[in-house]
Structure 1
């Protein structure tokens, strides 16, 4: 055992003991966070405009501060981008995380000197929690790879601008730098496919022990490794590979194919980082839920998802949430985001401690007929049947088909790229439809009432989604294929890849 590995265990024990303190006092910690945020932003432009000096409790806050998306905060963010100080948070941000939005074009999410350390600490603590639980420290002395965006940053009025993963890449602690791959030069390659090829060349002969990234892009990396090594499994290429860290999407649709590529099951840690803040991570190997980080400079709010588009939706603090109910997640952060709707939906599966599952995106649903089918439901339906029948899913998306052929009822149309396809697609589709009916009573009623016909699965060619993302200019990085759309914009581009 190397020195780093030996030191990791006592350090992990110390960190986990500190985590227990806030984990067991979550509501008190959230109340302190709330008061600290209000106090620190009282003299900002936003604080003055929304009377922070008159806010004494959460009810006052809800009265004074509306729910905002990026466009709602944009007048303030634009002033920050232009170089103005004390607008949303004291001083200027340390960074802007540059993201792309469907309605807002390029978005600049502020990251402050107070919020940036929380990103680093959370990523570190996810690994230390795993070490403490499992005792596995073998990965610490091997090579680690983080499939991420370019670390090259621009500047706007003295503030560094880049992708979140690229910003974080510049802040990896010195004690991990020697273990980290790929090289800085390779990480700076903008073309994703060229970058993956370069990463393969750099890593194929290395002692890779930890691999991290968004599952579909990790799968692309694995595919290229397997091709380069004449069909070897990942376990035979990287004999000491023992830990997979991922985030950004639900791993379950990709699990079967990734584990098949590896050649064995492997420990994994799910994380929930966002440009707006590091929200949660998995802290138990036998529990897929995520520990909500209540001490990370974020005061959380929750809106029942069915009320999200109401004029005055119910807003709840952590103390008021219920189990197994879908909520839109709202953030108030120490980077100056206020009443900020991040766009995700979550549900609580525990309140002691507070643990969540990410259930989808508030704008990603199908409700062409009032069914309001969400991401969690389609993933559950497909994976339940796929796992039962040994079918591997590479990627999929679902959209309504309102204009069905003459004489037919409308239906949900599923576009699925299989790693290993079902023997009988008609029987498979029927079982998926029945599983979805069990998850969503409104969908069940529409099928029973002959308003909809059962879903239809279109099988796609190999690499259909990679080709689609390439043509859309969204290959690699932090980009993800939406599971659900209430229109046919995405699937219209996929129709040419359907296998007749």
Structure 2
């Protein structure tokens, strides 16, 4: 009886939530109103005074007065916020700092205000509510749920709680889900990822698991340990597993491997969360594309990728974007990030409502020869190749080989196969052709005999896990870039070639 009530209450909540989701039809108008609300709230902050927020009357005014920034640009302000000063970027001191690993900046401290934090939770809730309403099914609420995440233990920086985003969010799981949630606190705070996954296996293997959440590489690691231990597929271990919620990286390159491990039908929801905000989730499970959340305290701008980094780059609003073009994503948030370049590249596939694909990273590309190949292109090329010449890919990485010992330069693909294609040469040729179809500059370089066809370096099993471990990036929300413009990752991966 309790389970019946719980399921039906979830169905009622979900359908009510979806009916109230007016942002889908009023997104463009509401985005402009949101910007003025953010500017008005922060006009007396240090940043607001320095950038003349008092005299911003239009989006154009805002773009003229507030340049695009990255973490280095905002770092002097954030350092003052870290010392507990209010009215710097936002009116109050942040409720949290989400600590992320940077490159040039070292660790980044992304502020999350008391206004911004609820939207991190609401984004995930909305994804689940849309799923329940669409499927008319809330059975999973009666089983156990697991969230593969960073440690929920938080440190304090001048009184501001600080930790990984997933660890912060763990403190805001709704009470009605807490009893069903795994793993235990003691397991969740284990820092060593391999030890942690082993403990998660112990705690969950005999439970009625119905929902599992995490980024694809670490879901796969968890599933592999279960399959190896029990000698059977996940759906036989967890027969009531209904739903997997994933995000952080594009799910498609991992789909075949996940389906093989699962051994049965499980619904997938793809999401787009980050420390800076929860941006989008999949609301139509029959096709790719994530619904952009335009009423969650974030004003979006979009810079055409080919213009990104140029002083005269256009900054487009939601009403100005075109379909099937790549844009650098720029954010202004209710946590005090102003015209902030998050580093992600998105592509709109629909305007009614606004749906996006995450097509890459502004810093993750290969352009040693002027080709500017992005993640979406290599992932789509790999997907098409695997469809024609069946294979199972665990992970891959692309780097340029500028100075080979013999012959012309080339793109080197480091691939860890779970199952190799029957004919490796045909697979290689097809992969090259598929990339040429998607990137005309690469095609010109091949046809002009400036580059030779791509080369594939085959890696041992667990090569990417070993690389991540060697860099202290095994687990949590750490992701290995699919592309690089140098050979720093490539040279370390080569240690594990076959």
The two structures share one fold, judged by TM-score above 0.5: yes
Aligned to 1:127: 128
Q: Equivalent residues in 2 for 1:279-358 (5 A)? A: 279-358=279-358
Matched-pair contact (CA < 8 Å) for 2:112–2:335: yes
Q: Does 1:106 pair with 2:111?
A: no
Q: Equivalent residues in 2 for 1:191-206 (5 A)? A: 191-206=192-207
Aligned to 2:58: 57
TM-score (norm 1): 0.98
Query: What do the CA deviations read for 1:68-95 (whole angstroms, capped 9, x no partner)?
Result: 0000101101100011111000110000
Alpha carbon RMSD of aligned pairs, Å?
0.8
Q: Equivalent residues in 2 for 1:265-276 (5 A)? A: 265-276=265-276
Deviation of 1:498 after TM superposition, in Å, equals 1.0
Out of 17, 34, 42, the position equivalent to 1:15 is: 17
Q: Does 1:431 pair with 2:430?
A: yes
Q: Find the aligned partners of 1:452 and 1:207 in 2 and give their Cα distance.
A: 53
Deviation of 1:265 after TM superposition, in Å, equals 3.3
Deviation of 1:425 after TM superposition, in Å, equals 1.3
Q: Find the aligned partners of 1:495 and 1:17 in 2 and give their Cα distance.
A: 53
Query: What do the CA deviations read for 1:121-158 (whole angstroms, capped 9, x no partner)?
Result: 11001001000001121111000000000000011111
User: Counterpart of 1:236 in 2: which secondary structure?
Assistant: helix
Query: What do the CA deviations read for 1:89-121 (whole angstroms, capped 9, x no partner)?
Result: 011000000001011001100000000000111
User: Counterpart of 1:259 in 2: which secondary structure?
Assistant: helix
Query: What do the CA deviations read for 1:17-72 (whole angstroms, capped 9, x no partner)?
Result: 111x1111101210121111011101100000000001011010011001000001
User: Counterpart of 2:20 in 1: which secondary structure?
Assistant: helix
Matched-pair contact (CA < 8 Å) for 2:398–2:411: yes
Deviation of 1:220 after TM superposition, in Å, equals 0.3
Q: Does 1:404 pair with 2:410?
A: no
Deviation of 1:287 after TM superposition, in Å, equals 2.3
Aligned to 1:259: 259
Deviation of 1:400 after TM superposition, in Å, equals 0.4
Aligned to 2:147: 146
Q: Find the aligned partners of 1:149 and 1:473 in 2 and give their Cα distance.
A: 14
TM-score (norm 2): 0.99
User: Counterpart of 1:24 in 2: which secondary structure?
Assistant: helix
Aligned to 1:244: 244
Aligned to 2:443: 444
Q: Find the aligned partners of 1:90 and 1:18 in 2 and give their Cα distance.
A: 29
Deviation of 1:319 after TM superposition, in Å, equals 1.0
Q: Equivalent residues in 2 for 1:442-481 (5 A)? A: 442-481=441-480
Q: Find the aligned partners of 2:389 and 2:398 in 1 and give their Cα distance.
A: 21
Q: Find the aligned partners of 2:429 and 2:269 in 1 and give their Cα distance.
A: 33
Q: Find the aligned partners of 1:403 and 1:422 in 2 and give their Cα distance.
A: 29
Deviation of 1:426 after TM superposition, in Å, equals 1.4
User: Counterpart of 2:253 in 1: which secondary structure?
Assistant: helix
Runs of 4+ in structure 1 off by over 3 angstroms are none
Deviation of 1:2 after TM superposition, in Å, equals 2.4
Matched-pair contact (CA < 8 Å) for 2:391–2:419: yes
User: Counterpart of 2:486 in 1: which secondary structure?
Assistant: coil
**For structure 2, which runs of at least 5 residues remain unmatched after alignment?**
none
Deviation of 1:264 after TM superposition, in Å, equals 2.0
Deviation of 1:386 after TM superposition, in Å, equals 1.0
Q: Find the aligned partners of 1:270 and 1:36 in 2 and give their Cα distance.
A: 30
Q: Which moved more, 1:21-30 or 1:380-389?
A: 380-389
Q: Find the aligned partners of 2:69 and 2:248 in 1 and give their Cα distance.
A: 22
Deviation of 1:387 after TM superposition, in Å, equals 2.5
**For structure 1, which runs of at least 5 residues remain unmatched after alignment?**
none
User: Counterpart of 1:67 in 2: which secondary structure?
Assistant: coil
Q: Find the aligned partners of 1:72 and 1:432 in 2 and give their Cα distance.
A: 40
Aligned to 2:160: 159
Count residues in correspondence: 496
Q: Which moved more, 1:374-383 or 1:308-317?
A: 308-317
Matched-pair contact (CA < 8 Å) for 2:32–2:59: no
